[in-house]
A and B are shown apart, each in its own frame.
Chain A
Amino acid sequence: MFDYETLKMLWWLLIGVLLIGFVITDGFDMGVGALIPVIGKSDDERRIMINSIAPHWDGNQVWLLTGAGAIFAAWPAVYATAFSGFYVAMMLTLFALFFRPVGFDYRSKIEDPRWRNSWDWAIFIGGVVPPIVFGVAFGNLLQGVPFILDDFLRSQYQGGFLDLLNPFALLVGLFSLTLFVLQGSTWLQMKTDGALRQRARLVSMICAPLAVVLFALAGVWIANGIDGYVITSIGDLSGPANPLLKTAEVQPGAWLANYDKYPLTMTAPAVGLLFPLLTWVASKYNRSGFAFFCSSITQTGVLLTCALSMFPFILPSSIDPNFSFTVWDAVSSEKTLNIMTIAAAVFLPIILSYTTWCYLKMFGRLGKEFMAKYKHSAY
């Protein structure tokens, strides 16, 4: 169908699409989770917040699962090295994710305040830890990750958990959390009313400018303090996928090279800077639907900025740049990519249409009347 080189590009895009789906959809439900103990002042308010995401969180989470599944299938080496290298961080994310399904479903089953409070904090952890870890992970990808490959392509991670928590990575972690909370708060603006909506609006108006500042800060840091990676020699881009067949090196400013080469890519960071401001304006003038839209575009712009800066690198090795994984050599075989392309071409449009239908069916604000009517059947 497509030639191998095109397929490699295509799967970089498709994994991008899945991750964007994740940050937009799971982004808002994790953001809501993070805000539950912060702006939910009463049990009713907290229940309204949870019920605003109740019909959607599980479907949303599948963007993450399918994203991880697609990385496994399309970039097996990346999946293997990143998940085992970041072992402790991955486990912490996993434990935080444990809290969500059970928290949402079990919280309302018992009417005891201690029971419900405990689950609120559990859901809070489930909403706060994953965005921070994902941010920290991206922060580390940008700096390169200390791993080596042996002759059998077995990867060996040589850093520790605490090395992940360096200042730049923590900045990206904080940035990522800000974006998720912004996403959650704009969702709540759209789905709630009264005092709760006003509080959500206030959160959006704080997070939006903060996002601009943090994004700009990370950008300046990358331009001045973080060296990028470049491929110095690589054979046929359609050749067998083996990272050991190329050479690469560290080069100051390399993460900005793509923007010089393809000026159109500047759109991504521009969107990442502009749309939080639009989110702020929309929140200010109570355009909650537009605020949510702008926040979602922000998420997209930021993720694309990260991906475009690193392209074609996915997971650079800070120990020996030659070992780095790139879109050209960390991928699956042509056959597998072809089959998955067909599957994605068939299923992604179907998924998008029924997901949209589901959102349309559950459209509308939830208020006190809702909670009174569905006291026994809602979350």
Chain B
Amino acid sequence: MDDIVDLSRFQFAMTAMYHFLFVPLTLGLAWILVIMESLYVMTKKEIYKDMTKFWGKLFGINFALGVTTGLTMEFQFGTNWAYYSHYVGDVFGAPLAIEGMMAFFLESTFVGLFFFGWDRLSKLQHLAATWLVALGSSMSALWILIANAWMQNPVGAEFNYETMRMEMTSFADLVFNPVAQVKFVHTVASGYVAGAMFVLAISSYYLLKGRDIGFAKRSFAIAAAFGTAGILCTIVLGDESGYEVGDVQKVKLAAIESEWDTHPAPADFTLIGLPNQEAERTDYAVKIPYALGIIATRSIDKEVTGLKDLMADHEVRIRNGMKAYGLLQKLRAGDKTEENVTAFEELKVDLGYGLLLKRYAPDVVDASDEQIKMAVDDSIPGVAPMFWSFRIMVGCGVFMLFIFLFAFYQSARNTIGENKWFHRICLYSLPLPWIAIEAGWFVAEYGRQPWAIAEVLPTYMGASSVTADQLLFSIISIAAFYTVLLAIEMFLMFRFARLGPSSLKTGKYHFEQLENKQG
């Protein structure tokens, strides 16, 4: 069972992280296309139409792989996380189905008109199509993040012993989950940053090469403005305000800060140090007084609970969970006396903690103290990976903040193109949003471990009853497909980015002008 779970986790992590190479660019670039085309419709200047078409071409190359890899994500809950799907489908499935009806259809129908409707639609109709693509992609992010936030902080649902699964009690709670709110803003804004950095970097390339200057400057200015707004949103409305609610979110926060003990409020922020999981302390910590308490709780009097206290709390809940599990067994066997039902209803919030024992004591109720200790140790994620990936994310974010602010300053002063060194920095900063985003997702999802659904269903329980051979087959095949597809995508991206607007074959841009002169 252990290797099935590990292989399934590996496959999910691999495919999710790969999928999210393409999603942010779709999210951000779609709005940049909206800005460009709106300018075209308002100013009637052809260059903005060319910009929309050229960046739209690159958008299309990226979009194709976004769609492709999104298919895997939808299939995988069923193929690889079947028990998860059964256990929480009643709650988790609804936002996915609504995402399909409200967002996917919109985005996918109008993306066809975006690419092929230029001569079939009026200017305003085409602009509307572009708007709807952008709106559709951001709304799709909204619903999938509502689903994801429910995994982090499962509100509006409870366990039903008659159907042996979680069932929805309040759709409003699900939708207005505070974790979903911050997650949506943070994730979508980071996608906007990715889109902006993409345009900023490639425009800088043209400026460095000294070609298609007007085209590049306009693109650069749009990206600078959009990116500044995006990075400010991403940082100011960071995800951490969602770390106050729900046990697992608190665990994540403490792990990110390597905060082993609860300190008096406001807590110090550990700038850097070496988390030591075994000794449960942070070596060589460099601390900034009060900063953590203020950042994380947005107050000076609330405590940030440390990992040791959280784990002590987990032990209590695991012991309650054992009782809940025992009662559930009685109910399953048909012993539905009122006494059992009431007792179970009271204890069922801790049923999930009882299930953490499944890994060590399949019958749960007879777990020894030693087994309980192992489950408690498991109840927090590895601290060092959390600590470091969070710092990588923040580091990239802060660096990009300076880039966008300076780029924005240049646009405002009308000095774009004058600082060659700055454009070189922009060009080579292209990977930063992706590094930050992947690190951020790692923090969010690895930080959720050992849970698939926080406090409800351990990851260990969620996997399908498939064989290791089947998993190896799928992992190797997917890895092979994805590697080849990525190589092809990068090849096309580089080719068309290098070619620039000349690829539109309008005759107006650099390489065609060059041909004309020579010809």
Residues of A within 8 A of B (CB): 51, 54-59, 61-62, 65-66, 68-70, 72-74, 76-77, 79-84, 87-88, 90-91, 94-95, 97-98, 100-102, 104-106, 109-110, 151-157, 240-242, 332-333, 335-336, 339-340, 343-344, 347-348, 351, 354-355, 358, 361-362, 376-378
Given contacts A77-B86, A88-B473, contact A333 B93 (CB under 8 A): no
A151 to B325, CA, bound (A): 13
Q: Specify the chain B residue showing the minimal Cβ separation from A354.
A: B109
Q: Which residues of B contact A355 (CB under 8 A)?
A: 105, 109
The answer to whether B93 and A154 have CB atoms under 8 Å apart is no
The answer to whether B477 and A79 have CB atoms under 8 Å apart is no
A344 to B92, CA, bound (A): 17
Q: Specify the chain B residue showing the minimal Cβ separation from A361.
A: B120
Contact sample, A vs B, 7 pairs, CB 8 Å cutoff: A62-B109, A76-B93, A79-B77, A80-B89, A87-B464, A242-B164, A332-B167
A358 to B126, CA, bound (A): 11
B492 interfacial by beta-carbon distance below 8 Å: yes
B85 interfacial by beta-carbon distance below 8 Å: yes
The answer to whether B108 and A62 have CB atoms under 8 Å apart is yes
The answer to whether B71 and A358 have CB atoms under 8 Å apart is no
Residue from B61, B89, B125, B167 with most neighbouring chain A CB atoms (10 Å): B89
B465 partner, pick from A82, A98, A105, A155, beta carbons under 8 A: A155
A76 partner, pick from B90, B113, B505, beta carbons under 8 A: B90
**A interface majority secondary structure:** helix
A343 → B minimal CB distance (Å): 5
Q: Which residues of B contact A336 (CB under 8 A)?
A: 90-91, 93-94, 167-168
A335 partner, pick from B102, B164, B167, beta carbons under 8 A: B167
Q: Which residues of A contact B264 (CB under 8 A)?
A: none
The answer to whether B67 and A70 have CB atoms under 8 Å apart is no
The answer to whether A153 and B100 have CB atoms under 8 Å apart is no
The answer to whether B97 and A59 have CB atoms under 8 Å apart is no
B111 interfacial by beta-carbon distance below 8 Å: yes
B441 interfacial by beta-carbon distance below 8 Å: no
The answer to whether B164 and A91 have CB atoms under 8 Å apart is no
Closest 10 A/B residue pairs (Cβ): A76-B89, A83-B78, A73-B93, A66-B100, A55-B112, A84-B82, A84-B464, A59-B109, A80-B82, A80-B85
B509 interfacial by beta-carbon distance below 8 Å: no
A79 partner, pick from B67, B89, B110, beta carbons under 8 A: B89
The answer to whether B82 and A83 have CB atoms under 8 Å apart is yes
A91 partner, pick from B60, B64, B79, B163, beta carbons under 8 A: B79
Given contacts A58-B67, A91-B474, contact A242 B163 (CB under 8 A): yes
B65 partner, pick from A79, A101, A110, A344, beta carbons under 8 A: A101
B88 → A minimal CB distance (Å): 8
A87 to B465, CA, bound (A): 10
B467 → A minimal CB distance (Å): 9
Q: Which residues of A contact B84 (CB under 8 A)?
A: 80
Q: Which residues of A contact B123 (CB under 8 A)?
A: none
The answer to whether B488 and A70 have CB atoms under 8 Å apart is no
| Segment 158-181 of B: residues with Cβ below 8 Å from A | 160, 162-165, 167-169, 171
Given contacts A61-B108, A358-B112, contact A153 B101 (CB under 8 A): no
Given contacts A156-B465, A335-B167, A376-B504, contact A347 B102 (CB under 8 A): yes
Q: Which residues of A contact B406 (CB under 8 A)?
A: none
Residues of B within 8 A of A (CB): 53, 60-61, 63-65, 67-68, 71-72, 74-75, 77-80, 82-86, 88-94, 96-102, 104-106, 108-113, 115-118, 120-121, 125, 160, 162-165, 167-169, 171, 332, 464-466, 470, 473-474, 477, 481, 485, 488-489, 492, 495-496, 504-505
The answer to whether A95 and B83 have CB atoms under 8 Å apart is no
Q: Specify the chain B residue showing the minimal Cβ separation from A94.
A: B75
B112 partner, pick from A54, A95, A377, beta carbons under 8 A: A54
Given contacts A98-B71, A361-B120, contact A154 B83 (CB under 8 A): yes
The answer to whether A339 and B171 have CB atoms under 8 Å apart is yes
A344 to B72, CA, bound (A): 24
Q: Specify the chain B residue showing the minimal Cβ separation from A97.
A: B71
The answer to whether A66 and B101 have CB atoms under 8 Å apart is yes
B90 → A minimal CB distance (Å): 4
The answer to whether A333 and B64 have CB atoms under 8 Å apart is no
A105 partner, pick from B60, B97, B120, beta carbons under 8 A: B60
Q: Specify the chain B residue showing the minimal Cβ separation from A339.
A: B171
Q: Which residues of A contact B120 (CB under 8 A)?
A: 361-362
A339 to B112, CA, bound (A): 30
A90 to B72, CA, bound (A): 10
Q: Which residues of A contact B74 (CB under 8 A)?
A: 65, 68-69
The answer to whether B505 and A376 have CB atoms under 8 Å apart is yes
The answer to whether A55 and B115 have CB atoms under 8 Å apart is yes
Q: Which residues of B contact A80 (CB under 8 A)?
A: 78, 82-86, 89, 464
Q: Which residues of B contact A156 (CB under 8 A)?
A: 465
The answer to whether B167 and A62 have CB atoms under 8 Å apart is no
A154 to B96, CA, bound (A): 22
A74 to B65, CA, bound (A): 29
Given contacts A87-B470, A95-B481, contact A106 B78 (CB under 8 A): no
Q: Which residues of B contact A79 (CB under 8 A)?
A: 77-78, 85, 89, 93
Q: Specify the chain B residue showing the minimal Cβ separation from A240.
A: B162
Given contacts A104-B64, A351-B101, contact A339 B168 (CB under 8 A): yes
A336 to B488, CA, bound (A): 42
Q: Which residues of A contact B164 (CB under 8 A)?
A: 152-153, 242
Q: Which residues of B contact A97 (CB under 8 A)?
A: 68, 71
Q: Specify the chain A residue showing the minimal Cβ separation from B125.
A: A361
The answer to whether A242 and B162 have CB atoms under 8 Å apart is yes
Q: Which residues of B contact A66 (CB under 8 A)?
A: 97, 100-101, 104-105
Given contacts A94-B71, A378-B116, contact A69 B97 (CB under 8 A): yes
Q: Specify the chain B residue showing the minimal Cβ separation from A344.
A: B101
A72 partner, pick from B65, B83, B93, B113, beta carbons under 8 A: B93
The answer to whether A70 and B83 have CB atoms under 8 Å apart is no
The answer to whether B121 and A361 have CB atoms under 8 Å apart is yes
Q: Which residues of B contact A83 (CB under 8 A)?
A: 75, 77-79, 82, 85
The answer to whether B97 and A343 have CB atoms under 8 Å apart is yes
Q: Specify the chain B residue showing the minimal Cβ separation from A61.
A: B108
A233 to B504, CA, bound (A): 67
Q: Which residues of B contact A65 (CB under 8 A)?
A: 71, 74, 100, 104
Q: Which residues of B contact A74 (CB under 8 A)?
A: 93, 97
The answer to whether A106 and B98 have CB atoms under 8 Å apart is no
List 6 extra interface pairs beyond A69-B97, A81-B82, CB under 8 A. A55-B115, A59-B109, A62-B105, A62-B109, A69-B74, A377-B504
B456 → A minimal CB distance (Å): 14
The answer to whether B466 and A362 have CB atoms under 8 Å apart is no
Q: Which residues of B contact A110 (CB under 8 A)?
A: 492
A98 to B477, CA, bound (A): 12
The answer to whether B75 and A68 have CB atoms under 8 Å apart is yes
The answer to whether B488 and A102 have CB atoms under 8 Å apart is yes
A109 to B61, CA, bound (A): 9
Q: Which residues of B contact A343 (CB under 8 A)?
A: 97-98, 101-102
A91 → B minimal CB distance (Å): 5
A188 → B minimal CB distance (Å): 17
Q: Which residues of B contact A362 (CB under 8 A)?
A: 112-113, 116-117, 120
Residue from A84, A156, A358 with most neighbouring chain B CB atoms (10 Å): A84
